[in-house]
Structure 1
Amino acid sequence: MSAGHDHLLSVSDLTKTYRTRGGLFSKASDFHAVKNVGFHVGRNETLGLVGESGSGKSTIGRMVMGLTAPTAGQVTFDGEDVTSLPASRVKDVRRKMQMVFQDPYSALSPRMRVGQFVAEPMVVHGIGDSEADRREQVVGLFRRVGLNPDFMERYPHEFSGGQRQRICIARALALGPKFIVADEPITALDVSIQAQIVNLFQDLQQEMQMSYLFIAHDLSMVRYLCQRVAVMLRGRLVEIGPTAAIFGDPQHPYTQSLLSAVPIANPRLERARKRIAYQYSPETLGNQLEEVSSGHFVLK
């Protein structure tokens, strides 16, 4: 899992520690939201990051994007260490990395027309010869994500959840990024809309040769979209490998428990299937990732 020429993003020993405040009957202590996490994302690859709520998935996404400063560790993007970038380079690197958030309505400015919202990154980065040129590019982005350009003068409250997420995706694409962190981008959407957004991500990847870090709870969508999967538990990376290996031959007890909770469409098989319980224990979680098969690592 070391950095390589075909790796667009490499993360090594990434750690985020928060100092909790002591109370009347408790002492201040350190809470490890993320601890010693390492992985890579290849060019034109989608890595799924899964795990229960509070496992550190979104914190990793924010640290990769530079929105949260890591306590320790390194994030390398396209051969450049982004955790120690000089101020003069931050803007250039940020142009190549974008993020799509879980709640599209919170990501949108309620006072800004959606066309202006999508065009804003172009203004900040000086893209386009004029306002008319930028508007023409926004028209193209709206069409690319399946929205009618006539909607550009509307406000966010006039759209459905799926349409708002498409607007946020259009904004993320405005700078022509190489890499997108998608932080649970379908969780707040209806099931039918979820499939449309996932298919949109796939189409855009093929069209623009992008890479994704796809953070999600829905394991069926992860299995459909991602080439590799990383499993998080209590801030630790417990298993990572090709999607077929993770779903077909899970090695860590937590991964086995997680996959046993995924519903099966066949009612007869679903009734007969047994859930696998997992009892967390720091002593039995494991200390080091070991390779059990080609590209498949498990915390032991």
Structure 2
Amino acid sequence: MAFVGDSLARNQMQSLLCLLATVVYPLDVSYTSDSRLKRWFYVNYNFTLASFWSPHLVKAIDTDPNGPTYNRLMNLYLDEANDVWAAQIEAFDYVIISAGRWFYGPQVFFENGKVVGCHLCLKNNIKNLTMLYGYRRDFRTAFKILTGLENFNGVTFLRTLSPAHFENGEWNRGGNCIRTRPVSRGEMKLEGDDLELYLTQVEELRRAEREGKKRGLKFRLLDINEAMVVRPDGHPNHYGHWPHENVTISDCVHWCLPGPIDTWNDFLLQMLKMERY
């Protein structure tokens, strides 16, 4: 089983790893020392679990690796594979793919090796395009890679966008997530950019489903949206840092407390059972 995506995909993978570790301990068979690219083998079950860090899914080049984390200009090659995962994914029976939050930053979009536009790049000689332009093409390319791999016969799960819960401001303008309990259904909902990203994901998955059928490949929707919208209590807020760190920004994107993110794997395990039957 392989997880492809950003740190939220790694969150789910780590949750599943902890669940499996209550039964047996795996062997670390990672091919690199990079903690973002890990692989574990469960000898008792002949089962491999892997994580491929690829927050943009496609080939991406950081133009300023030493720059600020939230404002780096990325060159995204929208029609090219990220070989970090694409070159190894054929061997897996199940692939869980997701991406989202890294697309909010400045990006220059390339297609056929040429610049076609950008998002927030602040360059007057480049056509301005929306974040959704790059986002849609990234997912389309990722799914196209999977359907085009000659020896890939696995099931692909799209784990949908994990909702953020910033209140009282944006992430960099005093927003926080101080709630300690779930909210009632309808009290919060997916809206704005998050809703557009979610709908784009689903549309591209349906497109991949149609293409995959021609080869007998299966694409499944692991939709966590509705269950997670009502869980603003699961984020670390400003407790996601060491006490000695001088960090004032709250984290209302990642998940810290047990419960919410474990639900993703409850859904996944049930869907795996359904595939079996």
Provide the TM-score with structure 2 as the length reference. 0.32
Q: Which has the larger radius of gyration?
A: 1
Q: Which has the higher contact order (CA 8 A, sep 6+)?
A: 1
The structure whose residues are more often strand, as a share, is 1
Higher helix share: 1
